[in-house]
Amino acid sequence: MKFFVDTADTNEIRELAATGLIDGVTTNPSLIVKSGRDFKEVIKEICELTDGPVSAEVTALETGAMLAEAQELLKIAKNVCIKLPLTIDGLKACKALTDEGHMVNVTLCFSANQALLAAKAGATFISPFIGRLDDMNIDGMELIEDIRIIYDNYDFETEILAASIRTANHVKQSAMAGADVATIPPAVIKGLAKHPLTDKGLEAFLADWAKTGQSIL
């Protein structure tokens, strides 16, 4: 499963990119606001930090305006992936952009039927929001599983990008459910490496090493 980092914080992206774990980046208007920076400048810098897709979201609601914004965003870098809302206008824009060979991430997906429409419109990625469904006492993982079955039934090439991930368990469950990609907040990615037994074992090894009085350097 590919990992995208869900942030507009370029320092976080730079740090995680050094691990080799990051295959792309997703942003949204809320993350841009949090960064406190100019939208286009942030996207440009992120695109320089990764060769993978960098999702940049349009803010228009009508197809023509979406396409105009998309063309402006596509000028920033070759790895910009246009992020569109899952609406009829968004699907029209998706079809137009993918027909031109551009990457498109269709976002705010909350049903398997919506995911089916996005695939038929040629979306590169579909972003089902797991955490927001969980907030409503709906199992977000069932949505991932349903989309996986539908896409496999018809050999759709659209990749399932598990979004709104809140916990390490969300990452594991998404991988088990067959998601192609998970877009994950930096803190959750870092948390995947943590385990109390790892810490305990390392502490014991270092204590024993100290007893030898040796130094590797």
Q: Which residues are catalytic?
A: 83
Q: What whole-number distance in Å separates Cα of residue 187 and Cα of residue 5?
A: 10
Do the strands 24-26 and 54-57 form a parallel or antiparallel pair, or are they unpaired? Answer: parallel
- Alpha carbon distances (Å) from 108 to 21, 68, 83, 90: 25, 21, 10, 11
Q: Treating both helix axes as pointing N-terminal to C-terminal, what angle do 63-74 and 88-99 enclose, rounded to 10 degrees?
A: 40
**Distance, CA of 22 to CA of 197 (rounded, Å):** 25
Is the backbone of residue 103 left (phi > 0), alpha (psi -120 to 50) or beta?
beta
Residue 72 identity: E
Report CA-CA distances (Å) from 95 to 101, 148, 180: 10, 21, 21
Look-up of token digits 């993918």: 98
Q: Please report the DSSP string for 66-87 in residue order.
A: HHHHHHHHHTT-TTEEEEEESS
**23 alpha carbon, distance to own chain's centre:** 9
Token pair belonging to 178:
């067959």
